[in-house]
Amino acid sequence: MRRQRQKIAVVMAGVLVLAGCGDGGFSGLYNTPLPGGADLGDHPYRLSAQFSDVLDLVPQASVKVNDVPVGRVENIQLAPDTRSAWVNMVVNGDIALPANARAELRQSSLLGEKFVDLHAPGKPEGSLAEGAKIPLDRTRRNPEVEEVLGALSLLLNGGGVEQIQKISHELNDALTGNEAEIRSLLSQVDKLATELDGHKGEILRAIDGLDKLSKTLAGQTRNLTNALDNLSPGLKIVTEQRDQLVGMLQSLNTLSGVATDTIKASRDQLVANLRALQPALHKLTEAGQDLPTALRILLTYPFPDYAGNVIKGDYANVDAKIDLNLDTFLENMNNSSQPIIQLPGSKGTGTPGAIPFNTGAAPPILPLPTGDLPQAPQVPQGQGGDVLGGVLGGILGPLLGGGR
């Protein structure tokens, strides 16, 4: 029996020596894999998560995804800031996790062990790889049972539970005897809520308009700032002239009172004058567009308004329109009360100095100026137009610059 015990002791010592020689040293049972742990597969990868408080998490604790063990905690190290800890884990390589995965420290049961739960966020991105680190803003821990019981004890013993009874008593005292008023208040609140719901569209439009106004004001921030900065000198001047402004307003008040008394005193005469003015206004209305036309020639009467273009300062301009149409010219001279010529076939007027054409004699030829002037074309005589040709030659010769 003694020999068997010695053999067993030797075997255990050998096992311990071999286990310690594997990593170059022995650091305790924490480095010894526990039976029944997670299957790490052929290609596991390592990652780290930073926690502000690891509670009583120990190495060899489980790492789970959806409550399924996928790895284990290798070791826990204090972070350089000495206010958090890094939990180093090894995870099965077949488990795909996003690069923005989250880590949570949970407890398997009320008094169970702690483990690290890895889960993907709402919008996963990328994938975790060897040496990945989950920062402090993506880790958290659940409250422990002791913390929950301590908070409950604080609430029950020194919290506000005992004050709930006082609050309920005060509410009962306030509502007792005021049931009708409370019901009326609730009914008014219900009516108000109904009215607000009925005007929901207008309220939303008002909010949208206010949003547009705020955007416009935000876009005009520089102009508003400039206006406010430049408004200070103007306000200073107004402040300095406050007494004058007050005096002006008081004087204006006195003037308005006097004007009101004057209008009241002369109301009948004012109404009579307005009624007497009514026929003149009617006549002006009837005149219509004739009145502006008459006003145009008022300054140049009896001449038309165009006569104003004749006199320009200290000299006068004359605009003349000369119509050299021969038919119109002869017709105008013949229709005159004292024509200077008598066309063939007319009886004549017998006016002294008129040229008779009813005698059959050739008309006298008017004298023409002599000189080196070009000769006007001569009209041949005795070809059905001898008389008229001689007359036209005598009249148009000076006008055309010709002579005999």
Q: Tell me, what amino acid is at 123?
A: K
User: Where do we find the tokens 């301590």?
Assistant: 150
Rounded to whole angstroms, how far apart are CA atoms 80 and 14? 39
As a dihedral over the C-alpha atoms of residue 252, residue 258, residue 264, residue 267, rounded to 10 degrees, the angle is -90
Q: So where are the chain's domains?
A: 1-32, 37-148, 185-232
Sequential pLDDT tens for the chain (404 residues)? 555 555 555 556 555 545 444 444 445 555 555 565 677 888 899 999 999 888 888 888 889 998 889 999 999 999 888 889 999 999 988 888 898 999 999 888 777 788 999 988 888 888 888 889 999 989 988 877 777 777 777 777 766 666 777 888 888 888 888 888 888 999 999 999 999 999 999 999 999 999 999 999 998 988 988 888 888 888 888 888 999 999 999 999 999 999 999 988 898 998 999 999 999 888 888 887 777 777 777 777 666 666 666 666 666 666 667 777 777 777 777 776 665 555 555 554 444 444 444 444 455 554 544 545 445 444 444 444 444 455 555 555 544 444 44
Rounded to whole angstroms, how far apart are CA atoms 143 and 135? 20
**Class of residue 363 by CB neighbours under 10 A (exposed 0-12, middle 13-18, buried 19+):** middle
The pLDDT value given to residue 333: 74
Contact 63, 147 (CB under 8 A): no
Is the peptide bond preceding residue 302 cis, with omega within 30 degrees of 0?
yes
Contact 134, 101 (CB under 8 A): yes
The pLDDT value given to residue 14: 56
Residues 6+ apart with CB under 8 A from 169: none
Return the sign of the alpha-carbon dihedral for residues 126, 128, 132, 135.
positive
pTM exceeds cut of 0.75: no
Q: β-pairing, 102-107 with 85-91?
A: unpaired
The pLDDT value given to residue 255: 94
Number of H helices, E strands in the chain: 11, 10
